[in-house]
């Protein structure tokens, strides 16, 4: 690893990319936050979750749907899936074009058409592109295959209620400062969302042990040590246990040397006791990614670097390196990068909570949830 810490990388980005900005250091910090979100997104895609992913969906609180929270990623039950073929004629892949082609499969008049383009004329892809919104579900499009004269597109009907949410938090003390006044507030925001969107509630006992409580038909159904109860719910096929359950996953990355494996600071303690799963994206992972696809990419990944540099140029017109919008060639190269380096990339992540957790176990729990009979559960 050429850089000892993410702080060193931030200095390089500050000098070489963001020197034009009014506050170059802050601009570089925001770009690092975007990179963490992109790493997380393509990790989820590499797990085969493409059809389940929604981006920046508003998720209601359990038992209090008047309050909703915007989350980075949410994973939704797939109620139906369709494949359509659209001509590659250089025009935008608009929601209208896709819905017209989809109408061959049936009547989708209940869905309100949204003004989202899956792919723009200038080659910017919208990830997890929602093209229609219904009362209890949405229609989300993604490109499966691109030919010289056609696109093969998958459209999934996703239930609005997710079975999991994933949020990215890059918090900590910035290099040169003694403390970061905003970082604990960011941690508290994430903690509040994690503790309010699911029917599986957390309770702290006088001993300090964390217990879980979940309700069944208006009464307490189960109470047990939290992670024991979490596993019980994930493995259950009882619709009344699953209907309002949301597994909460936090991905944190370093911003300065803000904790060690033995000494978790306040931010990390707040997040670890709030999310069902808390995953740490290591400095090594972030630096390897930036070095290999942004700073000194081989030719196979040059489009990723070009998309990044174009998005952060002083005269940029449109950002094409975010979790929502990304250059279509950069997207193809990122998919290949994550596929070719799958084992190494998973080693970029450490599980903070649960104590005995592993990334393999998390992936398995997500798979179990995805394969539930959600049509029956959500009746």
The burial of 227, by beta-carbon neighbours within 10 Å (0-12 exposed, 13-18 middle, 19 or more buried), is given as middle
* Cβ–Cβ < 8 Å for 121, 103: no
pLDDT for 261 equals 47
pLDDT for 182 equals 55
| % of the chain with per-residue pLDDT over 90 | 67
* Cβ–Cβ < 8 Å for 311, 320: yes
Between 106 and 218, residue with greater pLDDT:
106
Does this model's pTM top 0.85? My answer is yes
Which are the contacts of 354, defined by CB distance < 8 A and separation ≥ 6?
227, 230, 277
Q: Average pLDDT in the 264-286 region?
A: 87
pLDDT for 289 equals 93
pLDDT for 5 equals 66
Confidence of residue 3 (pLDDT cuts 50, 70, 90): low
Diameter over CA atoms, the chain: 66
Q: Average pLDDT in the 358-373 region?
A: 96
Q: How far apart are CA 54 and CA 89, in angstroms?
A: 27
Which are the contacts of 206, defined by CB distance < 8 A and separation ≥ 6?
none
Q: What angle do CA 106, 126, 77 make, to 5 degrees?
A: 50
CB burial string 286-318: b at 16+ within 10 A, e below: bbbbbbbbbbebeeebebbbbbbebbbeeeeee
List, for residues 305-350, the tens digit of each pLDDT value: 999 988 888 877 788 999 999 999 999 999 999 999 999 999 999 9
| % of the chain with per-residue pLDDT over 70 | 92
Is pLDDT above 60 for 260?
no
Give the DSSP letter of residue 18: S
Is pLDDT above 90 for 184?
no
Is pLDDT above 60 for 257?
no
pLDDT for 24 equals 78
Q: What angle do CA 156, 325, 160 make, to 5 degrees?
A: 35
pLDDT for 233 equals 95
List, for residues 135-162, the tens digit of each pLDDT value: 999 999 999 999 889 999 999 999 999 9
pLDDT for 373 equals 96
Angle in degrees, 0-180, between the axes of helices 24-46 and 6-16, rounded to the nearest 10: 120
């Amino acid at each position: 690893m050429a850089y000892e810490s993410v702080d060193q990388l931030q200095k390089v980005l500050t000098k070489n990319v963001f020197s034009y900005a009014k506050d170059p250091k802050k601009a570089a910090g925001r770009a690092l936050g975007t990179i963490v979100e992109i790493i997380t997104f393509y990790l989820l895609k590499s797990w085969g979750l493409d059809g389940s992913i929604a981006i920046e969906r508003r998720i209601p609180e359990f038992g209090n749907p008047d309050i909703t929270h915007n989350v980075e990623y949410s994973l939704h039950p797939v109620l139906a899936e369709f494949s359509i073929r659209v001509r590659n004629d250089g025009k935008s892949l608009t929601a209208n074009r896709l819905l017209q082609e989809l109408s061959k499969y049936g009547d989708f008049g209940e869905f309100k058409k949204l003004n989202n383009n899956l792919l723009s004329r200038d080659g910017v892809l919208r990830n997890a592109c929602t093209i229609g919104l219904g009362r209890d579900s949405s229609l989300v499009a993604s490109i499966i295959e691109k030919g010289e004269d056609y696109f093969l597109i998958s459209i999934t009907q996703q239930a609005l209620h997710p079975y999991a949410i994933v949020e990215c938090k890059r918090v900590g003390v910035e290099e040169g400062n003694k403390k970061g006044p905003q970082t604990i507030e960011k941690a508290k925001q994430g903690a509040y969302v994690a503790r309010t969107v699911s029917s599986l509630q957390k309770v702290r006992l006088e001993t300090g042990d964390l217990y879980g409580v979940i309700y069944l038909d208006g009464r307490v159904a189960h109470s047990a040590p939290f992670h024991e109860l979490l596993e019980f719910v994930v493995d259950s096929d009882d619709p009344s246990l699953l209907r309002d359950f949301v597994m909460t996953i936090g991905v944190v990355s370093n911003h300065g040397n803000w904790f060690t494996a033995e000494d978790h600071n306040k931010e990390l303690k707040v997040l670890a006791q709030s999310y069902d799963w808390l995953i740490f994206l290591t400095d090594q992972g972030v630096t390897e990614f930036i070095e290999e696809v942004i700073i000194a990419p081989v030719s196979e990944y040059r489009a990723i670097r070009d998309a990044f540099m174009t998005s952060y140029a002083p005269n940029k017109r449109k950002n094409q390196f975010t979790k929502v919008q990304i250059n279509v060639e950069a997207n193809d190269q990122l998919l290949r990068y994550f596929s070719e380096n799958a084992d190494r990339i998973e080693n970029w992540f450490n599980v903070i909570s649960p104590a005995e957790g592993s990334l393999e176990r998390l992936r398995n729990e997500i798979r179990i949830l995805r394969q539930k009979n959600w049509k029956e559960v959500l009746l």
